[in-house]
Amino acid sequence: MRCKKCNAKLAEHDLWCVSCGAQSPIVKTELSAIKSLKNTRHNLKNKISELVPATGFCIILGIIPIAMLAWMFHNYIHTDGTLQLLLSMIVKCVLYSIFLPFIFLPFSVISSSSNYELKFKDLIHNLHAYFRYFVFGLLNALYFMFIYIICFGLPGFASDPILRLVWVVLVNYWFAVMLPAPVLMERLKVNPFKAIKLSYCHFHDLRWNIYLLVILLIILNFVSFFALIFPLLFSLPLSFFAIRDYVIKLEQYELLEYRI
């Protein structure tokens, strides 16, 4: 493989030309998020029905409680002062973190292999990973709490309106950083903080590809949720395996071997 700009010879897994710095074609071909998602969908085509019990477990104990909490906080919890707002945000962080592990738990089953099996009994067997994912969920919740305070301010302590746009950027960027972390936690046997750090440091060259995968999966699952939840039985396992497959591909292209 050669660089299209300077014709220098490129190694099989080079993302950038060492001579001129141009981006390698593999970023948009072999490492395309859309291509990876299509491959995952093809591999899951005849196996979705086998995944329904485990997926239902995640929906009943994870997605539905979180949706109910969000609805309750929006409609019944109103904060007037700084102390009330901070207390409400802390309670939200803890409560959401209690149920988030049930959504992340499938990664403890599927990340260590490349097959497309996710059984209910395996989820139950891996419940010991609950605390690890609780910490992961709490780290994410605290991050969102922190940037909300910085960008939106507190009652009586206003922030610059331009920071609203900064908040949008930070939220979207964090999704792209966070997405590979659950798979890295399992494949590399590292703690949540280390997994997030590895994703941030090593996957920056493919951040736009990861972000595209984030957007596609968010749209797919939001549409499924608001279509009376039932389609989540099909979109959720696709999301789990799509994330797993893409992170494995990044690992195969030696992105975790780069020195930072």
If asked whether residues 41 and 168 sit together in one domain, one would say yes
Domain count, the chain: 2
Q: Which long-range contacts (CB under 8 A, 24 or more apart) does 165-172 make?
A: 171/144, 171/147, 172/211, 172/214
Same domain, 48 and 59: yes
Smallest CA-to-CA distance from 117 within 50, 185, 40 is with 50
Instruction: State whether residue 9 is helix, strand or coil.
Output: strand
What's the pLDDT tens digit per position in 65-96?
999 999 999 888 877 778 888 999 999 999 99
Does the structure show a pLDDT above 90 at 18? no
194: part of which helix (H) or strand (E)? helix 192-202
Report yes or no: 106 and 127 within 8 Å, Cβ to Cβ: no
pLDDT tens sequence across 185-199: 999 999 999 999 999
Coil, strand, or helix at residue 62? Answer: helix
**Could you give the CA distance from residue 34 to residue 2 in angstroms, rounded to a whole number?**
24
Mark whether 2 and 86 lie in a shared domain: no
Q: What is the pLDDT of residues 105-153, one digit of tens each?
A: 999 999 988 899 999 999 999 999 999 999 999 999 999 999 999 888 8
Residue 117: closest CA among 27, 51, 36, 179: 51
> What's the average model confidence in pLDDT over 204-212?
93
26 plus 123 within the same structural domain: no
- Give me the pLDDT at residue 164, please: 87
Q: 93 with 111: CB under 8 angstroms? A: no
Reported pTM: 0.91
User: 102 or 23: whose pLDDT is higher?
Assistant: 102
Quote the pLDDT of residue 129: 94
* 154 and 114 housed in the same domain: yes
| Average pLDDT score over the chain | 89
Shared domain for 14 and 138, answered yes or no, is no
Residues 160 and 241 in one domain: yes
Cα separation, 76 vs 88, in Å, equals 12
11 and 101 co-located in one domain: no
For residue 126, the model assigns a pLDDT of 94
Written as six digits, the tokens of 234 are 């099909």
Is 110 in the same domain as 20? Answer: no
Percent of the chain scored above 70 by pLDDT?
A: 91
Q: Does pLDDT of 259 surpass 60?
A: no
**In a shared domain, residues 232 and 187:** yes
Residue 163 has pLDDT above 60, yes or no: yes
Q: Calculate the alpha carbon distances from 185 to 103, 180, 188, 247 in Å.
A: 15, 9, 6, 11
For residue 260, pLDDT beyond 70:
no
**CA–CA gap between residue 52 and residue 202 (Å, rounded):** 34
- Judgement on whether residues 16 and 43 belong to the same structural domain of the protein: no
Q: Are 123 and 238 within one domain?
A: yes
Cβ contacts of 133 within 8 Å, gap of 6 or more: 100, 101, 104, 105, 108, 182, 192
Q: CB-based contacts of 28: which residues, under 8 Å, 6+ apart?
A: none
Q: Which domain holds residue 252?
A: 31-257
* Residues 36 and 183 sit within 8 Å (Cβ to Cβ): no
Which residue, 73, 191, 189, 59, is CA-closest to 136? Answer: 191
Q: What is the DSSP string of 195-260?
A: HHHHHHHHSGGGHHHHHHHHHHHHHHHHHHHHTTSTTHHHHHHHHHHHHHHHHHHHHHTTGGGS--
